Structure 1
Amino acid sequence: MSATSYAVRDNLTMLRRSLLHARRYPSLTLNLLLTPVMLLLLFVYVFGDVMSAGMAGGHADRSDYLAYIVPGILLMTVGMTSLGTAVSVATDMTEGIIARFRTMAINRASVLIGHVIGSVIQTMLSLALILAIAVALGFRPDASPVQWLAAAGLMALVSLALTWIAVGIGLVSPNAEGASNLGMPLTMLPLLSSAFVPVNAMPDGFRWFAEYQPFSPAIETLRGLLTGSGAGTKDAVLAVAWSLGLSVLGYLWSKARFNREPNR
């Protein structure tokens, strides 16, 4: 077998390990999914009429507000799931399994790649669940097949970017609790974006940050795709640029940290 074949085999082995771990310990994924589900229910049934009336100039339409917040909830789910990856990586580092992998004749990068691919797969399944809940609540997307493919690709790209950042967080954290704390920006940034209210409704001090931080362009692009209204070029370019940039940054950070990380 060639070196490439061995690397692919090792990546698939580590991916299988990641998926088996998620299947045997589903409580972490379920706990992370609880927050976006609760926020979806809260904003639809408690704040839905008030928020929709405020955004529509006094005309309350809960279904319109549901269509508005679903893209934000979906990308918040991406952030929540990636936080679980940070915790899993930190757990591996502290429990000694990484030290064992270092002594084995395996591709070193496969340890991280298995976590990343496994996390992206789990994230896409989680997004399907959240979307199903939203549809049950009355969300009716009006996307064409091409727009659905673009939306799925965008969510996968954002997931890849945040997962690589989460892997780096897990590697620099002293333990799983530290990884959970350091990864909080992944779950808090959507709250300072256009997920729940339009950016132009925010105070001047927050508007610029909310408009150009990674989540807002992705949310606006996803919103345009799911509603069938089309994604703005500026937001789409920013969303892809942020995702690719964070993917490269997270990969380089994680690789450098993993290669020099001492056994714990």
Structure 2
Amino acid sequence: MSTLFSLKGKVALITGATNGIGLGMAKGLAEAEIDQIILTYRSEGPLERATNVLKEINPKVVISAVHADLGAGTEDEVVDKIVTEAYAVAQSGVIDILINNAGINNRHPFEAFPAADFAEVLRINLQIPIKLTQRVGTQMLKTKTEGRVVFTASLMSFQGGMNATAYAVTKGGINQFTKALSNEWSSKGIRINSIAPGYIDTNLTGTMDPQHRATILPRIPIGRWGEIDDFKGPIVFLTSDASRYVTGETLLVDGGWMGR
């Protein structure tokens, strides 16, 4: 059974993995003995902390980094930089796993939602992940790599939320993109799935209104907010042979929230 969940010999590229859910996912990859993790980052401090955490888990894992500010320059410039530098440092010459995790949430009532804030959420949460997937996935097809692509979706892939229309649009889009792309690429050896987190203690949920936060815990059947380590198992499952017949799915990791 351990070989079913092993990631030995694999190389993963993951965006937004220097903290929060992305770091939890990267920790899972390291524990599954993956050969190399390529992280995108914006600042040195979080990158150094994340690298230390991952090396402590698995001293043998190779940690590489690509500097990428997803909000700077054009979308194509950002994606070109990530892809070019990631393949340059990939020790095997291929990327087996792509995890599109980076995301933001700007909150405003829709009638007062600044156009720039709305566009920023669409860019970072939806447009860049789609373009990055196209670039990396095309390379996977050329090299006949048995690829795995995983997106971070959300409860708002299924629900509307409040004062977060841009976020809901992007996460609903990720859910549908997962299904549509799976239909095209699964027969070609690339599985496409998403993970939909529930309410998790991260910097992103820290922006929520305190009164709203207070109403959440009583509605989570498992009785607690999620933690980043709750994503170690799900990401290893979806990127390993343990899920070899799973594609086009959005896996809820929500403590039972959606079943309430």
Q: TM-score, normalised by structure 1?
A: 0.29
* Greater helix fraction, Structure 1 or Structure 2: 1
* Greater strand fraction, Structure 1 or Structure 2: 2
Q: TM-score, normalised by structure 2?
A: 0.30
